[in-house]
């Protein structure tokens, strides 16, 4: 049974090469060809981005800077300038927009483009990708790697294989051939844990997975099994979704049993604040109005908002606000005793199209933005659960 994805709606995944390091090279051309490492230069800093020259030494993002320094003592270390990267990212976005009306950015340096209209304007997707790479380089000075394939999953795989500064096209007829030899970890959603389960079944490559009936996989892995079976056959139905100008960004959680314990409520709020904050940062945006949503066990729902003097994108700044709001909600409960909470939500609105400048305060609790950036890096490399606030870890004991 061989799937035949429809080629009429090709998806492009464009991924800038060593983005932050490349921006630094643009700013300081004499760094060209040298191992350039962008990252925290303090004793506990980590690598944010490394030029391909630096990667030859085994240096990769989220590695402690101290280790990178040992691996490549003569590398040039630079403190990140996120304001600059956001500006540059928008320049690149303008080029993307000129190629497709449907652009879905994943972060400052990568995006999906729905290029189904390519056939009308260009000889084909391949020519279009070449045009895009030329335009990005010409208009921004940055090199971008491009993957084109019948769907998002394959397009992202293709761009990975095209790096650096390349282009890979997976034609519908070649999907099976392309996927089969790849390790199972290449499947979207397969982390170390799932991979080890698959390996216990003797499944090492995507080809191995395809050879197994989908029903067996579902028995072993539940619904994830069906998902993996489809991906292994090159099937991915997710469409490219244009990032409509957002009005707010939030995270919420419904609880199996109602929450009453203040400590537990605060831990959930910290987790939600952190989730919203990292989403904001992934898009290089920020928000100025923080809203707390509380649904009680009787389904009454209230929201409380505060508009801050300046926009924020940090978990701690958001958490401090929602902590104040919840304490007022809980103390306002009055005679009704401990309220039972069924759902908590944290959202940011009044969104700004740029990362925040941080209005410093006389309050000693400042200085958290560096920690937030490190959090993002570790997560990007090792997964969402790789790093959390200490207080959240305690709660899982």
Q: Which residues pair with 343 in a beta bridge?
A: 254, 295
Cα(320)–Cα(146) distance, integer angstroms: 41
Task: Determine if 39 is a binding residue for another protein (CB under 8 A).
Answer: no
Q: Which residues of 50-73 are buried (b: 16+ CB within 10 A; e: fewer)?
A: bbbbbbebebebbbebeebbeebe
> Which is nearer to another protein, 156 or 281 (by Cβ)?
281
Cα pseudo-dihedral 75, 76, 82, 86, rounded to 10: -80
> Which is nearer to another protein, 1 or 365 (by Cβ)?
365
Task: Determine if 368 is a binding residue for another protein (CB under 8 A).
Answer: no
**46 vs 129, 153, 381, CA distance in Å?**
33, 29, 12
* Token representation of residue 16: 């800038």
* Least distance CB 92 / another protein (angstroms): 12
Task: Determine if 24 is a binding residue for another protein (CB under 8 A).
Answer: no
Q: What angle (nearest 5°) sits at the alpha carbon of residue 13, between those of residues 10 and 14?
A: 135
Size of the site for another protein (CB under 8 A): 29
> Which is nearer to another protein, 93 or 379 (by Cβ)?
93
Query: Can you tell me which of 82, 96, 99, 178 binds another protein, judged by CB under 8 A?
Result: 82
Query: Can you tell me which of 52, 201, 354, 368 binds another protein, judged by CB under 8 A?
Result: 354
Cα(166)–Cα(283) distance, integer angstroms: 25
- Does the annotation mark 177 as catalytic? no
Task: Determine if 289 is a binding residue for another protein (CB under 8 A).
Answer: no
Return the HEC string of 115-156. CCCHHHHCCCHHHHHHHHHHHHHHHHCCCEEEEEECCHHHHH
The interface region with another protein, picked from 138-146, 162-170, 249-257, 355-363 by CB under 8 A, is 355-363
Task: Determine if 359 is a binding residue for another protein (CB under 8 A).
Answer: yes
Cα(269)–Cα(49) distance, integer angstroms: 31
The interface region with another protein, picked from 49-57, 213-221, 225-233, 305-313 by CB under 8 A, is 305-313
* Token representation of residue 223: 């619904």
Q: Indicate which residue of 24, 53, 104, 110 is catalytic.
A: 110
Query: Can you tell me which of 173, 193, 363, 385 binds another protein, judged by CB under 8 A?
Result: 363
The interface region with another protein, picked from 64-72, 77-85, 153-161, 210-218 by CB under 8 A, is 77-85
* Least distance CB 61 / another protein (angstroms): 16
Q: Look at residue 109 and give its three-state secondary structure.
A: coil
Task: Determine if 98 is a binding residue for another protein (CB under 8 A).
Answer: no
Site for another protein in 312-331 (CB under 8 A): 324
Cα(275)–Cα(269) distance, integer angstroms: 10
* Least distance CB 271 / another protein (angstroms): 22
Query: Can you tell me which of 79, 139, 262, 300 binds another protein, judged by CB under 8 A?
Result: 79
* Token representation of residue 42: 């303090």
Task: Determine if 45 is a binding residue for another protein (CB under 8 A).
Answer: no
Task: Determine if 303 is a binding residue for another protein (CB under 8 A).
Answer: no
**Contact criterion met (CB below 8 Å) for 127 and 114:** no
Query: Can you tell me which of 32, 67, 83, 393 binds another protein, judged by CB under 8 A?
Result: 83
Task: Determine if 302 is a binding residue for another protein (CB under 8 A).
Answer: no
Cα(59)–Cα(381) distance, integer angstroms: 13
Reply yes or no: is the peptide bond before residue 102 cis, omega within 30 of 0: no
* Least distance CB 205 / another protein (angstroms): 42
Residue positions counted in the chain: 397
Task: Determine if 299 is a binding residue for another protein (CB under 8 A).
Answer: no
The distance in angstroms from the start CA to the end CA of the chain is: 47
Q: What angle (nearest 5°) sits at the alpha carbon of residue 60, between those of residues 177 and 29?
A: 105
Catalytic residue ranges = 110
List contacts with another protein (CB under 8 A): 79-87, 90, 288, 306, 309-311, 324, 352-363, 369
């Amino acid at each position: 049974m061989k799937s035949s994805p429809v080629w009429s709606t090709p998806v492009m995944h464009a991924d800038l090469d060593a983005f932050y390091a490349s921006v630094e090279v643009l700013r300081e051309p004499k760094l060209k060809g040298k191992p350039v490492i962008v990252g925290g230069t303090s004793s506990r800093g980590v690598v944010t981005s490394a030029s391909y020259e630096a990667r030859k030494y085994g240096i990769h993002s989220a590695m402690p800077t101290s280790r990178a320094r040992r691996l490549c003592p003569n590398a040039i270390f630079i403190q990140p300038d996120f304001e600059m990267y956001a500006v540059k990212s928008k320049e690149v976005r303008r080029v993307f927009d000129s190629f497709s009306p449907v652009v879905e950015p994943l972060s400052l340096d990568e995006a999906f483009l729905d290029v189904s209209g390519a056939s009308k304007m260009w000889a084909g997707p391949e020519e279009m990708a070449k045009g895009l790479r030329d335009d990005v380089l010409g208009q921004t000075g940055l090199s971008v790697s491009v993957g084109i394939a019948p769907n998002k999953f394959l397009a992202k795989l293709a761009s990975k294989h095209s790096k650096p500064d390349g282009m890979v096209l997976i034609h519908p007829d070649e999907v099976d051939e392309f996927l089969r030899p790849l390790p199972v970890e290449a499947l979207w959603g397969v982390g170390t844990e799932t991979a080890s389960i698959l390996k216990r079944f003797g499944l090492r490559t995507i080809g191995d997975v395809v050879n197994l009936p989908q029903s067996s996989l579902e028995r072993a892995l539940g619904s994830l099994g069906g998902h993996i079976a489809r991906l292994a056959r090159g099937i991915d139905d997710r469409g490219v979704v244009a990032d409509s100008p957002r009005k707010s960004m939030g995270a919420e959680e419904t609880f199996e049993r109602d929450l009453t314990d203040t400590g537990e409520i605060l831990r959930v709020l910290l987790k939600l604040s952190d989730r919203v904050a990292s989403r904001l940062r992934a898009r290089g945006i920020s928000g100025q109005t923080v809203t707390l949503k509380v649904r009680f066990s009787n389904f009454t729902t209230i929201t409380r908002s505060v508009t801050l003097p300046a926009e924020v994108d940090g978990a701690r700044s958001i958490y401090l606000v929602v902590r104040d709001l919840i304490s007022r909600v809980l103390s306002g409960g009055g005679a009704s005793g401990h309220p039972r909470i069924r759902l908590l939500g944290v959202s940011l609105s009044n969104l700004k199209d740029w990362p925040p400048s941080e209005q410093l305060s006389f309050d000693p609790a400042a200085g958290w933005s560096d920690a937030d950036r490190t959090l993002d890096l570790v997560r990007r490399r090792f997964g969402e659960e790789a790093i959390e606030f200490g207080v959240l870890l305690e709660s899982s004991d």
